[in-house]
Amino acid sequence: MAKYSKSGSKRSAGPSQRQLRVGELLRHELADIFSRQKIQDEVLEAHVITVTEVTVTPDLRSAVAYILPLGGKDSKIVVKAARSHIPFIRGLLAKTMNLKHVPTLNFQKDSAYDNSSHIDEVLSNPHVLQDLLGDKGDADETPKAPEAE
């Protein structure tokens, strides 16, 4: 049975258009803050930081920014340094963004790169390759129907 919101329409499973738009605006502004080194921190200045995604809650009050230093090294240190500057970053966002409330920020390491590397590693495993290639080999050896004369 489908659940209905207060307006009577069915709830969608994914984020709303506004959540996506605010998340993308936050991602763009955070990337600008990190690339222009507006934060004076030795750790953050020493790394090139990529903001891969920002997810925003439905009430637009809190957001999680997924960040990753270039090369993926020292990610825990970079996330910790970024978290220590959250109030300053929110202040910068309040000056540049036209939002009623700047969401409460949290930074997390983006693990998508690690996950894709693990999947590539598993797929290049000789046992898995044997299974994958074995399926294709069986498909080529299908018996042919005898020709009618």
Q: Which domains does the chain have, with CATH numbers?
A: 17-111 (3.30.300.20)
- Phi/psi region, residue 67 (left: phi>0; alpha: psi -120 to 50; beta: rest), is beta
CA angle 18, 30, 63 (to 5 degrees): 45
pLDDT in tens, the chain (149 residues): 455 555 555 565 788 899 999 999 999 999 999 998 888 889 888 889 999 999 999 999 999 999 999 877 888 999 999 999 999 999 999 999 988 899 999 999 987 776 777 777 777 777 777 777 775 554 444 445 555 54
Q: Which residues contact 40 (CB under 8 A, 6 or more apart)?
A: none
DSSP alpha helices (H): ranges in 1-125? 17-35, 42-46, 75-84, 86-96, 112-123
Nearest C-alpha neighbor of 27 from the set 69, 58, 61, 55: 55
Q: Which residues contact 90 (CB under 8 A, 6 or more apart)?
A: 102, 104, 105
Tokens of 64: 């999680």
**pLDDT (0 to 100) of residue 54:** 95
**pLDDT (0 to 100) of residue 12:** 59
